[in-house]
């Protein structure tokens, strides 16, 4: 089994309460405590509405937390503002479920991939072509794709472009929110293999949000199970789940007693 390194991110009692109007409040994150280590793949599973995407959006600062702390290398991200916040955001990137809606159809692939670098003023316009080609190679796509538009590509290819863009700032964490869910099984497998390869090369850590419990169990080092905004339990292997809610969630996927034969990534991809 692969090892992973020091703690890079820690959520402490993170809360998010939405004001739904008319005096109604909804707690989408309820005192969440999660830590993530260098090179770790941490799965987040749970029923629809359990708060998985809310956590992802808090981490990428699309939502601000109502309470709690998010420590990145020991520094509280929640209090960052202005230039510090802009800098802090570089380290955590995201890949969404449906990249077709995330891309501007009028942009060429090279502009899409290098957009984060351009936004941060980290690349010369003249170097965009070369950098895009380098990133395309990293995600196993042909260099010629640099001049294409995202619409005339397959879902799997578009997701590779999204991964290339997420990687271009050399983040320490990539959040994959159902990033492979829209792909068919064989394409999903190749994208998972790519994520695995990129992690071996860069030691990036993943938050892997996923409806597919069997896939999460196979790909992730550890898994957090969520319900109603709370962490129910954190385990290494879903088949070891003890909490009644987790076991109910799993019963639809695994025969728990028979579930000892988890396929580790090394065996799967080796």
Ligand X SMILES: Nc1ncnc2c1ncn2[C@@H]1O[C@H](COP(=O)(O)OP(=O)(O)OP(=O)(O)O)[C@@H](O)[C@H]1O
Write out the residues near Mg ion by the rule CB under 5 A.
Answer: 53
Is 176 an interacting residue with respect to ligand X (CB under 6 A)? no
| Cα–Cα distance for residue pair 51/31, rounded to 1 Å | 12
Binding partner at 246 among Mg ion, ligand X, none, C-beta below 5 to 8 Å by kind: none
Site string for ligand X, 53-92 (x = CB under 6 A): xx--------------------------------------
In the list Mg ion, ligand X, none, the entry touching 41 (Cβ below 5 to 8 angstroms by class) is none
Judged by beta carbon, residue 53 or residue 239, the one nearer ligand X is: 53
- Evaluate whether 230 touches 68 at the Cβ level (below 8 Å): no
- Please answer whether residues 149 and 105 qualify as being in contact, where contact means their C-beta atoms are separated by less than 8 angstroms: yes
Q: Which residues 6+ apart lie within 8 Å of 8 measured at CB?
A: 36, 37, 38, 72, 73, 172, 173, 205
| By the rule CB under 6 A, 269 interacts with ligand X | no
Does 49 contact ligand X by CB under 6 A? yes
Shortest approach of ligand X to residue 96 CB, angstroms? 11
CA distance 202 to 122: 19
- Report the chain's C-alpha Rg in angstroms: 19
In degrees, rounded to 5, the angle at the alpha carbon of residue 117 between the alpha carbons of residues 116 and 121 is: 120
Partner whose binding site includes residue 49, from Mg ion, ligand X, none (CB under 5 to 8 Å by kind): ligand X
With CB under 5 to 8 Å by kind, the binding choice for 68 among Mg ion, ligand X, none is none
Residues of this chain that bind ligand X (CB under 6 A): 18, 26, 28, 46, 48-54
């Amino acid at each position: 089994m692969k090892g992973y390194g020091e703690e890079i991110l820690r959520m402490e009692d993170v809360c998010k309460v939405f004001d739904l109007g008319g005096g109604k409040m909804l707690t989408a994150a309820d005192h969440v405590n999660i830590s993530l280590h260098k090179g770790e793949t941490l799965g987040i599973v749970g029923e629809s509405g359990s708060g998985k995407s809310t956590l992802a959006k808090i981490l990428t600062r699309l939502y601000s937390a109502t309470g709690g702390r998010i420590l990145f290398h020991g520094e509280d991200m929640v209090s960052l503002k202005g230039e510090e916040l802009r800098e802090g955001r570089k380290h955590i990137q995201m890949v969404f479920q449906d990249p077709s809606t995330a891309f501007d159809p009028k942009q060429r692939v090279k502009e899409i991939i290098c957009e984060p670098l351009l936004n941060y003023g980290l690349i010369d316009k003249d170097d965009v072509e070369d950098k895009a080609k380098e990133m395309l190679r990293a995600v196993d796509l042909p260099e010629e794709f640099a001049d294409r538009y995202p619409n005339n590509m397959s879902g799997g290819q578009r997701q590779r472009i999204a991964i290339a863009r997420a990687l271009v700032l050399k983040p320490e964490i990539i959040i994959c929110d159902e990033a492979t869910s829209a792909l068919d099984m064989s394409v999903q497998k190749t994208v998972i293999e790519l994520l695995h390869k990129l992690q071996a090369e860069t030691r990036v850590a993943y938050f892997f949000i996923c409806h597919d419990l069997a896939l999460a169990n196979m790909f992730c080092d550890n898994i957090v199970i969520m319900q109603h905004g709370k962490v129910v339990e954190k385990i290494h292997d879903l088949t070891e789940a003890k909490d009644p809610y987790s076991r109910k969630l799993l019963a639809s996927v695994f025969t728990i007693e028979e579930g000892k034969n988890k396929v580790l990534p090394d065996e799967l991809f080796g």
